[in-house]
A and B are shown apart, each in its own frame.
Chain A
Amino acid sequence: DTGVSQDPRHKITKRGQNVTFRCDPISEHNRLYWYRQTLGQGPEFLTYFQNEAQLEKSRLLSDRFSAERPKGSFSTLEIQRTEQGDSAMYLCASSSPDGGPVGEQYFGPGTRLTVT
């Protein structure tokens, strides 16, 4: 399977705990995106990497959220001191500037976070 993968698929945590999610993009894609999505809504942009550089962060991304892509391949998204409002689906997507129209993104299956 050469698609985008995310781990874990589901995470239940207690308020105040830290969680970390992993995303493995399509291997030849140099762009990687993190989104948050709540039920019935469209994805909300969180942050974007080109190779290992984090080029943009949403104002939605409080200082409790941090994302890394240390070698320009996989990425991690960490949420510290989780709150109930952090409960959502966290989606990762990757894209390539080559071989297709600008902006096409390929999504992973998402990580469903529930904060109790």
Chain B
Amino acid sequence: TQLLEQSPQFLSIQEGENLTVYCNSSSVFSSLQWYRQEPGEGPVLLVTVVTGGEVKKLKRLTFQFGDARKDSSLHITAAQPGDTGLYLCAGALTGNNRKLIWGLGTSLAVNP
């Protein structure tokens, strides 16, 4: 059973388009992180959200944590080819802060 469902699994868009990636669960998380991974490299932490309803912005990326802390979204405005990569969400379950639960990732390709 996959505790964190990410959608879509694959996304191919043109430069300049907007997109949203979703991360959903029936479990409550004490925190949730978004990572970006390029081929042949390890994931790089983008942001951590902790409070229900929290919104964080990182340049053209907007991250939101659901009010009930069960889901999150990543919105990219005016995507660029440099945004291409695998986007991963990972959550820390309440009461268990030792191990992250990982989504399967969204593979994004931004075409020039």
A residues sitting closer than 8 Å to B (CB atoms) are 4, 31, 33, 40-45, 48, 50, 55-56, 91, 93, 97, 100-110, 112
Q: Which of B86, B98, B107 contacts A48 (CB 8 A)?
A: B98
B50 at the A interface (CB under 8 A)? yes
Contact, CB under 8 Å: A104 / B48: yes
B76 at the A interface (CB under 8 A)? no
Residue of A nearest to B48 (CB): A101
Known: A40-B107, A48-B99. A104 touches B45 (CB 8 A): yes
Which residues in A have their C-beta under 8 angstroms from that of B40? 109-110, 112
Could you list 19 examples of A-B contacts with CB < 8 Å? A40-B105, A42-B88, A42-B90, A42-B103, A42-B104, A44-B102, A45-B99, A48-B99, A93-B42, A102-B31, A103-B30, A103-B97, A104-B48, A106-B45, A107-B35, A107-B42, A107-B44, A110-B40, A112-B40
Residue of A nearest to B2 (CB): A42
